[in-house]
Structure 1
């Protein structure tokens, strides 16, 4: 079973506008729509995908969660949004009312910081309600944005919040792999493998060392669709030469266990 842990989606008209602006300076390779994601998954042999929807400001949190809460649950796992402009209860209600099972936190786009007490209050509530979180960690923006999601601040936040099921995207430090190895690897977070424009640009021996040090059972495949091609990223994972158990876990088994998804072979 292959599950992609990192797929951004938008309503069709919004997807066109967002991707026309080349977010974080990358050239998208797919269209950002739900139909486009389904076609990509079918072509790459992907069974399920976490669909991530992010609200940049508090006033759009509820309608963003309404959108992602309507996805086809047989293929898509809805991860919605929170924002510190809203109260903790307003954020929880917007998730609960739309059946959203997890949260995407994006320091670059949302102006939220791991060190901000308002963000931490929300994360504590998510931990108490057993709602998993995937967060962008590392660089990709200006100095202020990069500090918001710095691996060092992630480490401090995880040390202060117990019970949080957190997935640290981009091996826990996009564009700052040295910092990721210092602060993210070995924490309680799950590490996710996406690295736009492709994980294939990383030294495979270094990636293997990170996976083994962190524990292959706590590493999850993700593509960062539509900015990368999932089939290419799956091939990069398979090219590492991991054991069959490590590879199958990273490509889907670990995430299925984390989210309580029953694989087809188990039914």
Structure 2
């Protein structure tokens, strides 16, 4: 089984507009719609994908979760959104009402630090509810945004909420890999493999050593669709030359175990 832990989707009528506002140098490879994701999965041989929704502001949380909660669950696993601008109770209600088992945090786009005490309080409630968190980690914006997603904040969050199941995108530190190796690698956090425009740009020996140090059983495949091509990203994982069991785990078995998927 191959599972993509990192696929962003939007309603058809806004996907094109959202993607037109991506950072220079990170042009979308696909259209950001559910139908587009399903076609891509079929082409790449991906069985399931986590469909991620992000509300940049509190007033969009309800509507985003209604959309994410409506996906076809035979192929997609809905990961919705929360925002510390809402009460913990309201955030949980919007997830519960739509049957959503996980959430995506994005310190760059949501203008909130992983070190914010409100995020820690919300993470405690998510952990108690058994809701899995996947978060951007590392750089990708201006200096203030990069600090909000810094690897040391991610590690502090994971340590503050030991019951939280958390997946760190981009090996725990997009364009801050050295800091991620100091702060996150070797922790109980799950690491995710995406690195737009492609993980293949990273040094294979360095990535293999990072995975071996962290433990391949706590690494999961993610493409960051629609910004990358999942087939290319699967090939990049296979090119690492990991033992077959470790490769199978990263490409799907580890995430299936974490989420309780068949």
Identify unmatched segments of 5+ residues in structure 2. none
Q: Match for residue 155 of structure 2?
A: 155
Moved over 4 A (4+): none
Q: Describe how 1:182-261 pairs up with structure 2 within 5 A.
A: 182-261=182-261
SS in 2 for 1:100: coil
Q: Match for residue 35 of structure 1?
A: 35
TM-score (norm 1): 0.97
- Seen in structure 2, the aligned counterparts of structure 1 residues 23 and 101 have a Cα distance that, compared at 3 Å, is farther
Number of aligned pairs?
Answer: 262
Q: Match for residue 26 of structure 1?
A: 26
Q: Match for residue 2 of structure 1?
A: 2
1:144-179 Cα offsets, whole Å, 9 max, x none, are 111111001111111111210000000000011101
1:176-225 Cα offsets, whole Å, 9 max, x none, are 11011111101111000000000000000000001000000000000000
8 Å contact kept, 1:24–1:140: no
Q: Describe how 1:113-132 pairs up with structure 2 within 5 A.
A: 113-132=113-132
Q: How far has the Cα of 1:114 moved from its partner? A: 1.2
Identify unmatched segments of 5+ residues in structure 1. 263-267
In structure 1, what is the Cα distance between the partners aligned to 2:51 and 2:221?
14
What RMSD over aligned residues (CA atoms) do the two structures have, in Å?
Answer: 0.8
Q: Match for residue 174 of structure 1?
A: 174
In structure 2, what is the Cα distance between the partners aligned to 1:80 and 1:159?
23
Q: How far has the Cα of 1:6 moved from its partner? A: 0.2
In structure 2, what is the Cα distance between the partners aligned to 1:175 and 1:233?
17
Q: Match for residue 142 of structure 2?
A: 142
In structure 2, what is the Cα distance between the partners aligned to 1:178 and 1:252?
26
SS in 2 for 1:91: helix
Q: How far has the Cα of 1:24 moved from its partner? A: 6.6
